[in-house]
Copies of this chain bind each other. A is one copy, B any other.
Amino acid sequence: MEKLNQLKNILQEVHDIQMAQNLLEWDQSTNMPVGGALDRSYQMGTLAKISHEKFTSDEVGSLLDSAAKEVSSLNSDSDEPCLVKVAKKHYDRERKVPTQWIEKFVQVTATAQTVWEKAKADSDFALFEPHLTEIVNLRKEYGTYFKPYDHVYDPLLDDFEPGLKTAEVQEIFNAIRPRQVALIDAIKKAKPVQDDFLYLNYAKDGQWQFGMNVIAKLGFNFERGRQDVSVHPFTTSFGWGDIRITTRIDENYLPTALFGSIHETGHAMYEQNIAQSLRRTLLCDGASMAIHESQSRLWENLVGRSYNFWSHFYPDLVKIFPSQLGNVDLDTFYRGINYVKPGMIRVEADEATYNLHIMLRMEIEIALLEGAIEVKDLPQIWNEKMQSYLGITPANDAEGVLQDVHWSGGMLGYFPTYALGNIVSAQIWDKVAEENPNLQDQIANGNFKPLLKWLSENVYQHGSKFEPKDIIKKVTGNTIQADPYMRYLEDKYKGIYNL
């Protein structure tokens, strides 16, 4: 295993550098004074360059081939063959893209992000348009390095969701679209639930204290992680032993911090429960964005927005905020945090409307790459789709086509993973519930250990050893299916809105 060991040494160094990059980014979002921005951008650029050069060297290519032979006699599901296989896939992808393209992409997106910020602030799409056009052209070019493909969108999707095809996503989305639209229509006709108490003033300290208690009970391991505050919540890893999350606190809207913390805790517990044997390797990561999101959404929604969860935690919350919640009973609180209302902003969307925001974006991305639409027409297309799916029209581009950061960063192909995460979360949930009939009782008793144990054994421990579809197959025996998620939504809102 001489070549394998040589390969592992290099991959370990690449991993170390990437973990240091994560720390540079985390610190930038949590602690860095404004004056540190320029130096920090140099540092991130230099580390990115070094890790890329180290990983894409000819030496790594030849070691990957030799190591593949050395591990060929081992069980293909064991750590080392998986490491070689996944590293080879990353290597091939990074080698296929010319350095000139990467340099151009970094430069174009750096400018585009600054312009987008201004365009969003001024609600001025025309300002952003030429930059987005350049990004779309670069992404079209990116696709050509991965020919042949079934669909021009496939290589982009594959960056975030290894092995998944555009046609598969479209089939899934086509299955859920009419059911989500019908559900929203039914809710619109029903009597609204009360949610005014969520908008009272909730002091930061109390919110922080309650959230820390909740995520500790869920199973966040504070010996190998911590929570901090940042403008946009995120999860990051500095290695197997240090997985961190951030949250943000809105003193005038209770759900922001709490569900943000639970969401990120879902991501973090995934990474905290990867097998220790994968430490310091590129397999010490989630299997894909969708699988990762399935776990953040599972803990946030299927656990955190459930009646049984609150039957356990609500008394504690009332104790911290007696003047705000003393007169709100559990049932009213539960309905309130599950209020459905079609809105303009994706990140504020409820469970019933969220996926429609995603479908709209994916349809636009695909049409742009196919050349079926032009960037200049996006505001109009966006607004028409919003009206068609959600029955509302943005008042301006800031709350419409300009709302998300992703396109300015060149991240086309990313959005679908959010909706797929929702869909997969319900499939996995059904399986847990099937194998553990006491699940709901355990949640009502504040006992999350059996759930975390099951998820760790069946999903988390594997890290990114397997492709997402293999993980889903292992866990559910099936491909990605839309029905469990739609049944979950329909059942839940039937109860809440008396549909």
Taking A19-B39, A24-B23 as contacts, is the C-beta distance between A33 and B224 under 8 angstroms? yes
Do B33 and A225 touch (CB < 8 A)?
A: yes
Interface residues of A in 155-190 (CB under 8 A from B): none
Do A33 and B242 touch (CB < 8 A)?
A: yes
Task: Kindly supply a per-residue 1/0 record for chain A positions 203-237, scoring 1 wherever the CB is within 8 Å of any chain B CB and 0 otherwise.
Answer: 00000000000000000011111101000000000
Do B35 and A224 touch (CB < 8 A)?
A: yes
Do A36 and B242 touch (CB < 8 A)?
A: yes
Q: Which residue of B lies closest to A14 (CB)?
A: B46
Task: Kindly supply a per-residue 1/0 record for chain A positions 15-48, scoring 1 wherever the CB is within 8 Å of any chain B CB and 0 otherwise.
Answer: 0110110011001000111111111101101110
Do B226 and A38 touch (CB < 8 A)?
A: no
Q: Which residue of B lies closest to A13 (CB)?
A: B46
| Distance between A5 CB and nearest chain B CB, rounded to angstroms | 16
Which of B20, B33, B226, B239 is close to A20, meaning CB atoms less than 8 Å apart?
B20
Residues in B with CB closer than 8 Å to A49 are 13
Do B17 and A46 touch (CB < 8 A)?
A: yes
Residues in B with CB closer than 8 Å to A125 are none
Do B280 and A36 touch (CB < 8 A)?
A: no
Interface flag for A50 (CB, 8 Å) = yes
Interface flag for A389 (CB, 8 Å) = no
Kindly report how many copies of this chain are found in the complex they form together.
Answer: 2
Do B13 and A239 touch (CB < 8 A)?
A: no
CA–CA, A280 to B223, complex, Å? 35
Interface residues of A in 234-285 (CB under 8 A from B): 238-242, 279-280
Do A242 and B32 touch (CB < 8 A)?
A: yes
Interface residues of A in 298-344 (CB under 8 A from B): none
Do B279 and A35 touch (CB < 8 A)?
A: no
Interface flag for A12 (CB, 8 Å) = yes
Do B43 and A239 touch (CB < 8 A)?
A: yes
Q: Which residue of B lies closest to A221 (CB)?
A: B35
Q: Which residue of B lies closest to A237 (CB)?
A: B39
Residues in B with CB closer than 8 Å to A240 are 39
CA–CA, A35 to B47, complex, Å? 24
| Distance between A19 CB and nearest chain B CB, rounded to angstroms | 5
CA–CA, A434 to B361, complex, Å? 70
Taking A43-B19, A280-B42 as contacts, is the C-beta distance between A238 and B36 under 8 angstroms? yes
Q: Which of A36, A42, A46, A228 has the most CB of B within 10 A?
A: A36
Do B39 and A242 touch (CB < 8 A)?
A: yes
Do B42 and A239 touch (CB < 8 A)?
A: yes
Residues in B with CB closer than 8 Å to A43 are 16-17, 19-20, 238-239
Taking A42-B12, A43-B16 as contacts, is the C-beta distance between A36 and B222 under 8 angstroms? no
CA–CA, A418 to B40, complex, Å? 31
A-B contact pairs, 20 of them (CB 8 A): A12-B46, A13-B49, A13-B50, A16-B42, A17-B43, A17-B47, A17-B50, A20-B24, A20-B47, A23-B24, A31-B226, A33-B226, A33-B241, A35-B225, A36-B238, A36-B241, A39-B240, A39-B241, A43-B239, A50-B50
Q: A19-B39, A40-B238 are in contact. List 8 more A-B contacts (CB 8 A).
A: A17-B43, A33-B241, A35-B221, A36-B242, A39-B238, A39-B279, A40-B239, A42-B239
A residues contacting B by CB (< 8 A) are 12-13, 16-17, 19-20, 23-24, 27, 31-40, 42-43, 45-47, 49-50, 221-226, 228, 238-242, 279-280
Which 10 pairs across A and B sit closest by C-beta, in order of nearness? A39-B239, A36-B242, A35-B224, A35-B241, A16-B46, A16-B43, A36-B241, A35-B223, A13-B46, A39-B241
